[in-house]
Amino acid sequence: MAQPTHTPNCPCCARVSRRKFLGAAAATAAAVGVVDTIAGPAAAQTAAPARPAPAPGRPILLKGGTVLTMDRAMGDFERADVLIVNGKIGAVRPNIAAPDAEVISAANTIVMPGFVDTHHHLWQGILRNLGPDMTLADYMRDINNTAGSVYKPEDMHAANLVSALGTLSNGTTCVLDWSQSQNTPEHSDASIAGLRESGTRAVFGYGFPVRGTPKYWEDPGNQYPGDLRRIAKKYFSSSDQLLTLAIAPSVVPTEQAVDCWKVAREVGCRISTHIGSAPGQLEPLGKMGLLGPDTTYIHVRRTSDVEWKYILDTGGTISIAPYVEMIMGHSTPVLQACLDRGVRPSLSVDVETTVPGDMFTMMRTALSIQRELIFQRQRAGEKDVPKLLTARDVLEFATVEGARANGLEKKCGTLTPGKDADIIMLRTDRLNVMPFNNAVGAVVQSMDTSNVDTVFVAGKMVKRNGRMVGVDLARVQRIAEKARDGVLARGKLTPKKV
């Protein structure tokens, strides 16, 4: 579907703008609010202190940015304003008159929805970069099994806090926290506390315990997955909050998977699961009729045609972690397998022990592998090869498709009026992108986390002028280092600093 691109002199914008302006003008005729120009490159380099966040309850007007709405019907704007009212997107168009609003200049920025990550083991945030050369087998041994079995609740809190803050700072405003090592109810409470404290929008993926035995269900102290009922009641009784709930089980053994699927349906939460460590593992659940549109399948490697059919027939969503899958040896990311089947996948980070926590990397990796595989087929003489992915495709995967896979497409993923204001502002007056020529090209091909200037979650400003708002970084570093030291010592893991 072709989508509109609105220019400053666009007739359709002028028409809409005038109609809405007349309505707004009748309501109030006061002067425009405070103008706060975002600090430019020079100010950022001298580390100017972050300005205070706007007063709660007051509308915010992001004025004069290049706007990628990621809503295909709305299209993009070469220059427009974005109005935030009561934490939601009120309007997107040029020349919005909002006399009561606090005005923030969006000049020299791209304004777009925050990224959405559909699978990220935040609990490993304190072990970042520990295994730059790890294979999947190394990771399973040292991180998943060894470290996972010695985490204390306070370690889960510290890791979730530092990693969730990191994702926010990177421009990701919604993340599915795939949290295995839920070894006790206290681990779950602490994990949720870390997410809450960070201020991010997150799906807490309640994962299986790692208690030093591969068969957690035979452990007399095991409370998985039954404790999901308590968690749902205690923390997720309202759908009108930043945190939502999922269960994050394994598909094997089937008997334990069935328990997880049943408890999830009982409490009404989504399901997120890794599949494809061996083909056919999903088939028993499919035969039992347990699969549904509430489930996201991660990696989808070594997946049989029968399993694919179950996923497609039941409307499941896909999460691909392209960088991890290639660098750790999972498999070739199944982007083309998805596209051949008419599925638009979402993207995910997976583990920060080996890869970075940002979505810029994931978009570029996804784009490059799909295109290279198509080019290979062309070079081999194949005719009528599938289409090359575009930069806009992967930008959609990292926003709107992520929101869909996280079950939050009504809340985030596009700048559609009525959705929550999960918005990022990316600087275009930086040496890695100037002079600014093309918004999608800049975001996907050249920008990185250094361009993330301002971040809103549900209209609340969590990053401004390139700095996190209200975060005591020294404290976060202190508790993260303390937790890391404890985990490494108890797990007898001795990584080298250099």
Applying CB under 5 A, the residues found at the interface with Zn ion are 350
Q: How far is the CB of 120 from Zn ion (least distance, A)?
A: 8
Going through 166-233 in order, the beta strands assigned E by DSSP cover 172-179, 201-207
Token pair, residue 343, equals 């599925």
Q: How far is the CB of 321 from Zn ion (least distance, A)?
A: 7
Judged by beta carbon, residue 333 or residue 417, the one nearer Zn ion is 333
Judged by beta carbon, residue 142 or residue 350, the one nearer Zn ion is 350
Give phi and psi for 440, each to the nearest 5.
Answer: -65, -40
Judged by beta carbon, residue 323 or residue 456, the one nearer Zn ion is 323
Please enumerate in sequence order all residues whose Cβ is within 8 A of that of 157, keeping only pairs 6 or more positions apart, or say none.
Answer: 190, 191, 193, 194, 197, 479, 483
Judged by beta carbon, residue 350 or residue 422, the one nearer Zn ion is 350
Residue 477 to residue 26: CA distance in whole angstroms: 51
Please enumerate in sequence order all residues whose Cβ is within 8 A of that of 34, keeping only pairs 6 or more positions apart, or say none.
Answer: 102, 103
Q: How far is the CB of 113 from Zn ion (least distance, A)?
A: 24
| DSSP string over 387-444 | PPP-HHHHHHHTTHHHHHHTT-TTTSSS--TTSB--EEEEESSSTTTPSP--HHHIII
Residue nearest to Zn ion (CB): 350
Judged by beta carbon, residue 250 or residue 304, the one nearer Zn ion is 250
Taking the mean position of all CA atoms in its chain, how far away is CA 266?
26
Residue 393 to residue 440: CA distance in whole angstroms: 10
Q: How far is the CB of 430 from Zn ion (least distance, A)?
A: 32
Q: How far is the CB of 282 from Zn ion (least distance, A)?
A: 16
Q: How far is the CB of 358 from Zn ion (least distance, A)?
A: 16
Judged by beta carbon, residue 350 or residue 401, the one nearer Zn ion is 350
Judged by beta carbon, residue 123 or residue 360, the one nearer Zn ion is 123
Going through 48-207 in order, the beta strands assigned E by DSSP cover 60-68, 76-85, 88-93, 102-105, 109-113, 115-120, 172-179, 201-207
Would you say 81 and 62 are in contact if contact means Cβ atoms under 8 Å apart?
yes
Question: How many Cβ atoms are within 10 Å of 451's Cβ, its own excluded?
Answer: 23
Q: How far is the CB of 191 from Zn ion (least distance, A)?
A: 16
Please state whether beta strands 102-105 and 60-68 pair in parallel, antiparallel, or not at all (unpaired): parallel
Q: How far is the CB of 310 from Zn ion (least distance, A)?
A: 21
DSSP annotation of 177 reads: E
Taking the mean position of all CA atoms in its chain, how far away is CA 439?
20
Would you say 227 and 235 are in contact if contact means Cβ atoms under 8 Å apart?
no
Judged by beta carbon, residue 294 or residue 350, the one nearer Zn ion is 350
